[in-house]
């Protein structure tokens, strides 16, 4: 097991309340306010700016620059700002609090940037059908570095959808057919039937984060603000029960990851950041 033992992740500005952990378990998503210090938010912002000027090869493919949308993932492998976030920030400790796992392993990081006026929506989806992994102990933490409102493309979640038995086709902002598994269901037409669902959404300030289950259905509209960027960093974490499960129509991993089907996530590309003794 690859563990960065010489770094101790910082504690969050506050621990999650028991009521927040319960709400995450029951609703599938929560807003945790005032958990990151200004210094960590600033480091994420610097990492985002570095990624904009030096994207990964995958980021060059995923971004829709002519429409004001920048995306990237596995950035920490070549971006020292995000490497510091992975190993030193409170994000792993927040993940451990909600997952209850003695080990917390970094899965990957992801950038979602929508410039003012970007018309690119994030289609309704859940994350697990994108991923070549299997297990229950998985969580995403979504970190904004700008104030986020519904106008500037705040995320929306369908309350309790992580408890549904349905598994939906993966839908990307560019509607890439590579990710679409024909054996899965289409995502419901939520926007035409919003009164049938309980939609969760929050306005966010820097220092707040969204924490959600990988099966919680979520999405966002384009950024209709004319002066507010929406820079957001998603950090994915897993516990000890998550294994590599390669499947068709899932996202590619960086080459030379060294995993065989059924292996626990681990190694230099998926480092264990916290390990209880």
Find the CATH number of the domain harbouring 205.
Answer: 2.60.120.620
Q: Is residue 7 part of a domain?
A: no
Tell me what pLDDT residue 4 has.
45
The C-alpha atoms of residue 70 and residue 85 are separated, in whole angstroms, by: 20
CB 244 within 8 A of CB 259: yes
The C-alpha atoms of residue 160 and residue 142 are separated, in whole angstroms, by: 18
Q: Which helix (H) or strand (E) holds 44?
A: helix 38-53
Q: How many helices and strands (H and E) does the chain possess?
A: 5, 13
Q: Is residue 93 part of a domain?
A: yes
The C-alpha atoms of residue 1 and residue 209 are separated, in whole angstroms, by: 29
pTM of the model as a whole? 0.95
Containing structural domain, residue 47: 32-252
Q: Is residue 5 part of a domain?
A: no
Tell me what pLDDT residue 179 has.
79
CB 45 within 8 A of CB 145: yes
Q: Is residue 95 part of a domain?
A: yes
User: Residue 210 contacts by C-beta under 8 Å, 6 or more apart in sequence?
Assistant: 29, 30, 31, 32, 141, 142, 155, 202, 204
Tell me what pLDDT residue 7 has.
66
User: Residue 231 contacts by C-beta under 8 Å, 6 or more apart in sequence?
Assistant: 45, 48, 113, 144, 145, 146
Q: Is residue 277 part of a domain?
A: no
Q: Give the chain's domain count.
A: 1
Tell me what pLDDT residue 2 has.
41
The phi and psi torsions of 221 (rounded to 5 degrees) equal: -80, 180
For the chain, the residue count is: 277
The C-alpha atoms of residue 230 and residue 276 are separated, in whole angstroms, by: 36
Q: Is residue 272 part of a domain?
A: no
CB 135 within 8 A of CB 242: yes
Closest Cα partner for 80 from 101, 109, 102, 59? Answer: 109
Q: Is residue 11 part of a domain?
A: no
Per-residue pLDDT in tens (0 to 9) along the chain, 277 residues: 444 444 689 999 999 999 999 999 999 999 999 999 999 999 999 999 999 999 999 899 889 999 999 999 999 999 999 999 999 999 999 999 999 999 999 999 999 999 999 999 999 999 999 999 999 999 999 999 999 999 999 999 999 999 999 999 998 887 777 778 889 999 999 999 999 999 999 999 999 999 999 999 999 999 999 999 999 999 999 999 999 999 999 998 998 999 999 999 999 999 999 997 5
The C-alpha atoms of residue 199 and residue 218 are separated, in whole angstroms, by: 9
Q: Is residue 27 part of a domain?
A: no
CB 238 within 8 A of CB 138: yes
């Amino acid at each position: 097991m690859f563990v960065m033992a010489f770094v101790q992740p910082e504690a969050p500005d506050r621990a999650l309340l028991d009521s927040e952990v319960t709400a995450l378990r029951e609703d599938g998503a929560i807003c945790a306010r005032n958990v990151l210090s200004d210094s960590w938010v600033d480091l994420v912002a610097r990492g985002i700016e570095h990624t904009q000027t030096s994207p990964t090869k995958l980021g060059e493919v995923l971004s829709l620059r002519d429409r004001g949308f920048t995306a990237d993932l596995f950035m920490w492998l070549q971006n020292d700002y995000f490497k510091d976030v992975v190993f030193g920030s409170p994000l792993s400790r927040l993940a451990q609090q909600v997952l209850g796992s003695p080990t917390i392993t970094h899965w990957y990081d992801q950038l979602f940037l929508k410039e003012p006026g970007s018309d690119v929506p994030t289609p309704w989806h859940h994350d697990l059908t994108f991923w070549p992994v299997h297990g229950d102990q998985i969580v995403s933490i979504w970190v904004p570095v700008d104030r986020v409102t519904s106008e500037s493309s705040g995320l929306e979640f369908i309350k309790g959808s992580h408890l549904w038995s349905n598994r939906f086709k993966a839908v990307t902002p560019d509607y890439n057919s590579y990710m679409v598994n024909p054996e899965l269901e289409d995502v419901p037409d939520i926007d035409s039937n919003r009164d049938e669902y309980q939609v969760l959404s929050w306005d966010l300030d820097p220092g707040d984060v969204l924490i959600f289950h990988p099966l919680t259905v979520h999405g966002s509209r384009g950024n209709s603000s004319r002066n507010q960027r929406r820079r957001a960093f998603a950090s994915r974490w897993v516990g000890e029960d998550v294994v590599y499960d390669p499947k068709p129509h899932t996202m590619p991993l960086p080459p030379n990851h060294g995993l065989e089907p059924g292996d626990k996530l681990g190694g230099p590309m998926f480092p264990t950041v916290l390990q209880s003794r």
